[in-house]
Amino acid sequence: MLETKEKPAMTETITSKKIYKNLSGPALYEHAVANKEAEITAGGALCARTGKHTARSANDKFIVKEPSSEKNIWWDNNAAMDEATFDRLYAKVQTYLADKELYQRDCYAGSDSKNRLNVRVYTELAWHSLFAGHMFIEPPAADLPGFSPQFTVIDVPGFHALPQVDGTRGAAFILLNFKKKIILIGGTAYAGEIKKSIFSVMNYLLPLKGVMPMHCSANVGKNEDTAIFFGLSGTGKTTLSSDPLRRLIGDDEHGWSDNGVFNFEGGCYAKVINLSAEAEPQIYAATGRFGTILENVVYDKHTRVLDLNDGSLTENTRAAYPLEFIDNAIKGAAFPHPKNIVMLTYDAFGVLPPIARLSPEQAMYHFISGYTAKVANTEMGIKEPKATFSTCFGAPFMSHHPTVYAELLEGKMKASKAECWLINTGLCGGPYGTGKRMSIKHTRALLNSALDGALSKVKFTKDPVFGFEIPAECPGVPAEVLNPRETWADKALYDAKCAELAGLFAANFKKFNVTSSAITNAGPKI
């Protein structure tokens, strides 16, 4: 049972040498270059280096354990910090900031005015303020004079914690305090921590109001039919939700309320390693625009021309830019309730079908599981599939137990009569080494048929192990491709690999201690 106690918002007072408030993009460019934080590249994008931390520091994130929220937090998934430890570290940060120049950004998280969060972001770096301006939603100028923050982010990459003294695991820290309504970030210049910390806050607050927070992309068709896409990295979430025939609502974080689906953000934060103009023309174009922020992208020091194929600094090269940089993007307070829910997986075992229809209970099971599989290189060069489970397709950002989010999904799915589809963008015809990648042409044909309702009208067969329904036909897709077992030359090997994957699902699901038999019975039969 969720418990919440309404408390008034706190306005955090920060004392520093100077605070620059809500500077424009060009002004922040000037500050970032003058401070030697970043350089302007060919085309006009601003490129910064984040040093040691080129991705999120998941092990350095803590939630402060205090009476107002502790009964709601899923502590098996979230590290706790006591209030006294937070207060001591916060006092040290305040002392550190006393002689620093800071940048203040006032913004909204959430386009729906009934469910948005007023956020004030203080940053030590100018380009981090520009990043926050892209990621969140800019209030109208008339709203700024009386802007009252409901949560405050204090981002100080230059301050490094002492683990043996400050109660952290390392020099970096990301601390969420729901009682004081403060997020404290230090020791890391990776800008994604700002974005994901606010996502974590929304993932805590919104379920208390009966609103479903989602780590997903979303788009809407010409008939006002909204679709949402869940999927971990590498499953094709960005690619498949980017459709010239549909309008992009957002690429990463959304809410689902009684008003419909709404975007948390005002921009995109795209991975750009090996990006090409052919595969992702709009994201590629954004990397060469004034206003875009690039993180750890390599470029020629003389010509400032980008080399998006160079991963020498990190494979996690990023571009942050406003949503309007994408031609088919659409902004609005909220959009219609989804007609279709798509869960994407890259199955390197090669046993899941290219598409399957899930019942509401199966949708909950697969949502809680959050499965994909990757191919890992061992030291001897042997490659084997490795199952990866990230509950609710975003485990690092989930404050409540997974069943809280799954029950919200089930209720909203039933109320809107949405169909749920599991799409495998991974292998077919065999396991890694013999199987082939699903054809993107076939995947798009299956997705389009699901979204336009054509697929719901064909005959389906029930998978004997996983229980979901597999279509017998689909325009533009060979019938033999639809049933994965039929694509394997060695049927006995398929059965063995299918049983292996089913066992991994079952073993992973045990740790959630789900008591609902409807959900547990929706899993694969071993």
Alpha-carbon span 266 to 284, nearest angstrom: 19
Per the annotation, the verdict on 459 as an active-site residue is no
Give the distance between the most distant pair of CA atoms in the chain. Answer: 71
User: From the candidates 61, 181, 318, 401, which is the catalytic residue?
Assistant: 318
Per the annotation, the verdict on 31 as an active-site residue is no
Per the annotation, the verdict on 252 as an active-site residue is yes
Per the annotation, the verdict on 85 as an active-site residue is no
User: From the candidates 61, 105, 134, 215, which is the catalytic residue?
Assistant: 215
Q: Which residues, other chains included, contact 278 with Cβ-Cβ below 8 Å and sequence gap of 6+?
A: none
User: From the candidates 41, 123, 238, 292, which is the catalytic residue?
Assistant: 238
Torsion, CA 326, CA 152, CA 4, CA 253, rounded to 10:
10
Q: Which of 419, 440, 414, 420 is nearest to 428 (CA)?
A: 440
Per the annotation, the verdict on 400 as an active-site residue is no
**Please, what sign has the CA dihedral across residues 520, 522, 523, 526?**
positive
Read off the tokens for 221: 């068709």
User: From the candidates 233, 276, 434, 461, which is the catalytic residue?
Assistant: 233
User: From the candidates 56, 65, 134, 401, which is the catalytic residue?
Assistant: 56
Looking up tokens 């309702």 gives 453
Per the annotation, the verdict on 318 as an active-site residue is yes
Alpha-carbon span 459 to 446, nearest angstrom: 14
User: From the candidates 134, 195, 196, 246, which is the catalytic residue?
Assistant: 196
Per the annotation, the verdict on 56 as an active-site residue is yes
Alpha-carbon span 365 to 358, nearest angstrom: 10
Per the annotation, the verdict on 237 as an active-site residue is yes
Q: If you write DSSP's letter for every residue of 460-488 in order, what string do you get?
A: EEE-TTT--EEES-BTTB-HHHHSGGGG-
User: From the candidates 112, 155, 225, 252, which is the catalytic residue?
Assistant: 252
| Cβ count near 223 (within 10 Å) | 10
Alpha-carbon span 37 to 58, nearest angstrom: 24
User: From the candidates 65, 128, 181, 237, which is the catalytic residue?
Assistant: 237
Active site members? 56, 196, 215, 233, 237-238, 252, 318
